[in-house]
């Protein structure tokens, strides 16, 4: 019960802080509504503190020897949310020695298990036999495992299945709290904190597909790499809370990505800085800065620097009608932007500073319905003509059946800088479903 209350409250707290857009003529709620929203936010904050405390108690109980657990005589009923780094959404009750031993042993042995299915029907002008083109496909089935290892660490793993590619390890990492200087660390395979869309699972995106800049630079399934990273929230100026992150990753990018070369033994370094602020009772703004440096080929040189900025703005027109505006921009600095023909000896020079961006708007016009548009533009890497770019426009409609099921219809028009392909129109119908313990709601 506490878990569901927290999830609902957390959703309200996100939507409560959305900014009044100047000049649009949208009406503010009256003072009574604003007061109620403020009170709800205070309640949610108190719930968050209480649940954090309960999480620590549950983790401590699980780590204690059985003899110590059997001595517990009072009821312990923490209910926690199923966030990316939180405990599972189930209750742990300790009433007597036998029951507590049995339950705690089961909880220690059996991990949280969930399955997320992403089924996509695609109709496209393209004649290529690419993944899922012109058919219905199980684009991605995620088998999710996770649990606390001890009071100081948690292990999460995600295996990805598809009907057009081999089984893959999408995530498999350990999260460790309480490191020196109050750092939180991760080691293993994970999504680095790089921008917004590149660090998300596909079922978490606002659209069926990734934005063009993500597909062209990072790969068609986002940016998940093996490595280690650290983060620590710190207090910044003007009352801001800053969350800096640094990490070392294996080289390369995802399928179809061109930001770095394909050699995985040359490391990639990244830094990310994120901050979030409530601008008013109705609006909030999240900002992020990203820097990556890595190699474009097999040598040891770090020839590629990439800089990114992302922003997510939320505005609450009414308590149930949020508007989200999200965008990202990436600029590269490539020190070696040329190729030499081994036969003729002719040197071809490329654009040293390719860039890409997208802008997305998504409006929840009814409790279960939302609609939006996305515009894309990306300059191609190692293109002879610096004007070679891909650009696109998408429109999408989403029906939220429940927190465990979601349907989405999307149409997309793309104009390509390739000499062989000029335009491509496509339509998608996506169904996303979750059972068991999943890391996020499909809301």
Tell me the per-residue pLDDT of 206-220, one tens digit each, with 9 for 90 and over: 999 999 999 999 988
Whether the pLDDT of residue 246 is over 70: the answer is yes
For the segment 229-249, the average pLDDT, to the nearest whole number, is 91
| 295, 386: one domain | yes
| 326, 417: one domain | yes
Whether the pLDDT of residue 258 is over 80: the answer is yes
Question: For the segment 5-40, what is each residue's pLDDT rounded down to a tens digit?
Answer: 444 444 444 444 443 344 434 444 456 656 666 677
| 412, 271: one domain | yes
Whether the pLDDT of residue 102 is over 50: the answer is no
Confidence of residue 437 (pLDDT cuts 50, 70, 90): confident
Backbone angles phi, psi at 232, to 5 degrees: -160, 120
| 166, 279: one domain | yes
* Range name among 96-105, 275-284, 363-372 with the lowest pLDDT average: 96-105
Per-residue model confidence (pLDDT) at position 247: 96
Can you tell me whether residue 438 is helix, strand or coil? coil
Per-residue model confidence (pLDDT) at position 82: 37
Most confident of 28-37, 160-169, 381-390: 160-169
Element (H, E) at 440: none
| 385, 313: one domain | yes
Confidence of residue 153 (pLDDT cuts 50, 70, 90): very high
Domain boundary among 89, 110, 131: 110
Backbone angles phi, psi at 216, to 5 degrees: -75, -35
Confidence of residue 393 (pLDDT cuts 50, 70, 90): very high
Whether the pLDDT of residue 397 is over 50: the answer is yes
| 367, 424: one domain | yes
| 95, 152: one domain | no
Please report whether residue 443 resides in a domain. no
* CA dist., res. 194 & res. 212, Å (int): 16
Domain with residue 408: its CATH number is 2.40.160.10
Domain boundary among 75, 110, 145: 110
- Report the chain's mean pLDDT, rounded to a whole number: 79
Per-residue model confidence (pLDDT) at position 436: 87
* Range name among 122-126, 233-237, 390-394 with the lowest pLDDT average: 122-126
Please report whether residue 441 resides in a domain. no
Per-residue model confidence (pLDDT) at position 418: 64
Element (H, E) at 325: strand 321-334
Longest dimension (CA), the chain: 84
Please report whether residue 288 resides in a domain. yes
| 102, 116: one domain | no
Domain boundary among 110, 125, 159: 110
Confidence of residue 345 (pLDDT cuts 50, 70, 90): low
Per-residue model confidence (pLDDT) at position 59: 61
Per-residue model confidence (pLDDT) at position 264: 85
* CA dist., res. 380 & res. 211, Å (int): 14
* Range name among 58-62, 92-96, 135-139, 433-437 with the lowest pLDDT average: 92-96
Domain of residue 289 covers 112-436
* CA dist., res. 164 & res. 362, Å (int): 30
Confidence of residue 351 (pLDDT cuts 50, 70, 90): confident
Find where tokens 């009814």 sit.
366
Total structural domains within the chain: 2
Per-residue model confidence (pLDDT) at position 341: 63
* CA dist., res. 19 & res. 316, Å (int): 7
Question: For the segment 120-149, what is each residue's pLDDT rounded down to a tens digit?
Answer: 999 987 766 666 677 898 989 999 999 999
| 235, 308: one domain | yes
Per-residue model confidence (pLDDT) at position 399: 97
Residues of the chain with pLDDT > 90, as a percent, come to 44
Task: Judge whether 364 and 321 are in contact, CB under 8 Å.
Answer: yes
| 126, 251: one domain | yes
Can you tell me whether residue 218 is helix, strand or coil? coil
Using CB atoms within 10 Å of the CB of residue 260, give its burial: 0 to 12 exposed, 13 to 18 middle, 19+ buried: buried
């Amino acid at each position: 019960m506490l878990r569901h209350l927290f999830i609902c409250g957390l959703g309200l707290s996100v939507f409560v802080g959305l900014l009044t857009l100047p000049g649009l003529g949208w009406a503010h709620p009256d003072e009574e509504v604003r007061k109620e929203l403020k009170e709800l936010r205070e309640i949610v904050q108190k719930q968050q503190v209480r649940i954090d405390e309960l999480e620590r108690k549950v983790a401590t109980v699980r780590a204690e020897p059985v003899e110590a657990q059997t001595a517990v005589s009072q009821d312990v009923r923490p209910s926690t949310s199923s966030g990316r780094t939180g405990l599972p959404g189930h209750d742990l009750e300790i009433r007597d020695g036998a029951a507590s031993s049995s339950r705690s042993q089961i909880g220690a042995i059996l991990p949280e298990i969930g399955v997320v299915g992403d089924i996509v029907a695609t109709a496209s002008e393209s004649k290529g036999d690419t993944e899922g083109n012109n058919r219905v496909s199980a684009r991605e089935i995620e088998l999710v495992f996770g649990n606390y290892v001890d009071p100081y660490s948690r292990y999460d793993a995600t295996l990805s299945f598809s009907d057009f590619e081999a089984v893959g390890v999408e995530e498999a990492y350990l999260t460790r709290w309480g490191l020196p200087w109050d750092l939180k660390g991760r080691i293993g395979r994970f999504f680095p904190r790089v921008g917004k869309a590149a660090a998300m699972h596909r079922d978490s995106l606002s659209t069926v597909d990734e934005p063009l800049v993500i597909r062209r630079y990072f790969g068609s399934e986002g940016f998940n790499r093996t490595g280690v990273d650290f983060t620590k929230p710190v207090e910044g100026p003007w009352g801001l809370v800053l969350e800096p992150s640094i990490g070392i990753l294996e080289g390369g990018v995802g399928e179809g990505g061109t930001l770095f070369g394909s050699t995985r033994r040359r490391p990639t370094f990244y830094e990310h800085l994120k901050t979030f602020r409530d601008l008013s009772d109705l609006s909030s703004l999240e900002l992020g800065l990203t820097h990556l440096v890595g190699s474009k080929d097999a040598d040891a040189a770090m020839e590629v620097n990439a800089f990114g900025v992302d922003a997510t703005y939320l505005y609450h027109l009414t308590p149930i009608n949020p508007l989200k505006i999200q965008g990202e921009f990436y600029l590269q600095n490539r020190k070696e932007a040329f190729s030499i023909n081994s036969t003729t000896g002719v040197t071809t020079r490329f654009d040293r500073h390719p860039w890409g961006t997208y802008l997305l708007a998504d409006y929840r016009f009814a409790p279960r319905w939302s609609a939006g548009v996305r515009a894309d533009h990306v300059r191609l890497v190692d293109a002879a003509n610096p004007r070679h770019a891909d650009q696109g426009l998408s429109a999408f409609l989403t029906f939220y059946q429940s927190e465990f099921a979601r349907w989405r219809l999307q149409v997309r028009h793309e104009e390509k800088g390739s000499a062989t392909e000029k335009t491509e129109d496509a339509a998608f119908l996506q169904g996303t479903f979750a059972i068991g313990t999943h890391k996020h709601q499909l809301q």
